């Protein structure tokens, strides 16, 4: 079974490692604008069945040609290219998968998702699956939120939090800085009192008691896909249970949040072009990203991780609040991605974030390749059948992504 991965960066690296280990995947085509990077990843983790090719993700015809005969195309580039890769899948007949709807140059996350949905009838008519938002968050979080929503008789609130601690002696970007900071600069979407609304950036600051060993951590509202899809899809799929609140908050050491807020306030992360004295226009975020030093080479990153000089670990929680048996009830999930040392013992040059994002996506990709996802049209993880979601969660545990669940029910 042939699979195409578009993008040989941090995410494509981990996707290739995972998919190359699945015997159902007989061929992987790894496409990237930097063919040298694709060749390096293929040589290191491609399992002898990965072929690197040059690919411009914006070129629909070229992407469709690469995808010819493939069962699945996994999109591992920034969301700016989602639509072009989706259209290439429609032209080639391959299933489509991404890890986020994401903010683009012209659209918010919410607008980008709704734009993707305009292709829904085309995917349905052609009998092709498009599975959106399959990383850690969104993705794993949507899966757990659906399980909690389904298991409660009433579900009024879903609260999602991503908390991370990171330190490195060398510059290291564990995620697209353009994506992260443009999301930070966007007033976050919130679903409150049954309505979508925008709230202040870095707002709704909260001290949340994370499970051991993290303890109390500070989190703030952040623009994210879960707030877009969960209120729309869960009541439609599992019935109206009174859902009136959904948020996504991210956090870490408070000094880091304050520094990010100051950077955003400076205007340097804006995606809105400004006019320079010579009349030329430039996006501040492009200037900021261009000034960032490159990541260390894979071998150097692995050395620093294995020696304990880089720390990179976190926890993701999903709280589903409602009723069971007519009494107040809460179902809380916590996901514990492995730390960077554990990751580099297996995939030299990867990070906790790339492993925690792309391994869930890899598992969903394998479920598609193995024929265990039968739906067509555009689907998000929360819409998949319970047996598929449960199989996904179980496999995550086998790959170093353990989940705990705590049910709290009032008994009197």
* pLDDT value for 19: 98
Measured distance CA(8)–CA(42) in Å, rounded = 9
Domain boundary among 96, 131, 166: 131
Q: Are residues 201 and 317 in the same domain?
A: yes
Q: Are residues 190 and 299 in the same domain?
A: yes
CATH number of domain containing 320 = 3.30.360.10
Containing structural domain, residue 127: 2-131
- Average of per-residue pLDDT values in the chain: 95
The percentage of residues in the chain with a pLDDT greater than 70, rounded to a whole number, is 100
Name the residue with tokens 């030299």: 348
Q: Are residues 99 and 147 in the same domain?
A: no
pLDDT band at 115 (very low <50, low <70, confident <90, very high): very high
Model confidence pLDDT, tens digit, residues 1-12: 999 999 999 999
Domain boundary among 113, 131, 149: 131
User: Does any domain span residue 101?
Assistant: yes
How many domains in the chain?
A: 2
DSSP 49-109: -EEEEE--TT-HHHHHHHHTT-SEEEE-S-GGGHHHHHHHHHHHT-EEE-S-----SS--H
Domain boundary among 84, 103, 131: 131
Q: Are residues 93 and 163 in the same domain?
A: no
Residues in Cβ contact with 279 at an 8 Å cutoff, skipping those fewer than 6 apart: none
Q: Are residues 245 and 177 in the same domain?
A: yes
Measured distance CA(249)–CA(224) in Å, rounded = 9
Residues in the chain: 412
Q: Are residues 273 and 317 in the same domain?
A: yes
Q: Are residues 97 and 173 in the same domain?
A: no
Count Cα atoms within 13 angstroms, Cβ side, for 181: 27
Q: Are residues 294 and 253 in the same domain?
A: yes
User: Does any domain span residue 403?
Assistant: yes
Q: Are residues 208 and 299 in the same domain?
A: yes
User: Does any domain span residue 383?
Assistant: no
> Within the chain, what is the greatest distance between any pair of CA atoms?
72
* pLDDT value for 76: 97
């Amino acid at each position: 079974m042939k699979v195409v991965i578009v993008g040989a960066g941090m995410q494509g690296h981990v996707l290739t490692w995972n998919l190359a280990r699945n015997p159902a995947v007989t061929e992987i085509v790894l496409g990237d604008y930097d063919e040298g990077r694709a060749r390096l990843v293929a040589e290191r983790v491609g399992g002898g069945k990965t072929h690197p090719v040059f690919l411009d993700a914006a070129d629909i015809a070229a992407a469709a040609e690469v995808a010819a005969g493939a069962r699945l195309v996994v999109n591992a580039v920034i969301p700016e290219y989602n639509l072009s890769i989706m259209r290439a899948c429609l032209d080639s007949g391959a299933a489509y998968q991404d890890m986020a709807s994401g903010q683009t140059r012209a659209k918010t996350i919410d607008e980008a998702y709704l734009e993707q949905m305009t292709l829904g009838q085309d995917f349905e008519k052609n009998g092709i699956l498009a599975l959106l938002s399959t990383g850690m968050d969104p993705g794993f979080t949507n899966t757990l939120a659906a399980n909690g929503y389904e298991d409660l008789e009433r579900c009024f609130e879903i609260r999602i939090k991503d908390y991370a601690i990171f330190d490195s002696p060398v510059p290291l970007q564990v995620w697209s800085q353009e994506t992260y900071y443009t999301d930070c600069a966007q007033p976050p979407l919130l679903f409150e009192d049954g309505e979508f609304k925008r709230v202040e950036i870095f707002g709704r600051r909260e001290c949340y008691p994370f499970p051991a060993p993290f303890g109390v951590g500070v989190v703030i509202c952040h623009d994210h896909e879960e707030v877009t899809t969960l209120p729309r899809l869960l009541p439609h799929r599992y019935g109206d249970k009174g859902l009136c609140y959904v948020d996504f908050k991210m956090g870490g050491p408070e000094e880091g949040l304050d520094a990010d807020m100051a950077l955003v306030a400076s205007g340097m992360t804006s995606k809105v072009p400004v006019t320079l004295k010579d009349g030329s226009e430039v996006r501040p975020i492009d200037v900021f990203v261009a000034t960032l030093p490159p990541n260390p080479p894979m071998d150097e990153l692995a050395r620093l991780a294995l020696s304990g000089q880089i720390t990179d670990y976190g926890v993701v929680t999903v709280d589903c609040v409602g009723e069971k048996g007519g009494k107040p009830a809460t179902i809380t999930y916590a996901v514990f991605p492995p730390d960077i040392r554990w990751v580099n013992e297996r995939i030299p040059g990867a990070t906790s974030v790339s492993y925690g994002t792309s391994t869930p996506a890899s598992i969903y990709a394998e479920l598609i390749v193995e024929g265990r996802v039968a739906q067509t049209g555009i689907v998000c993880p929360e819409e998949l059948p319970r047996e598929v979601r449960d199989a996904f969660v179980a496999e995550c545990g086998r790959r170093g992504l353990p989940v705990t669940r705590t049910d709290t029910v009032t008994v009197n």
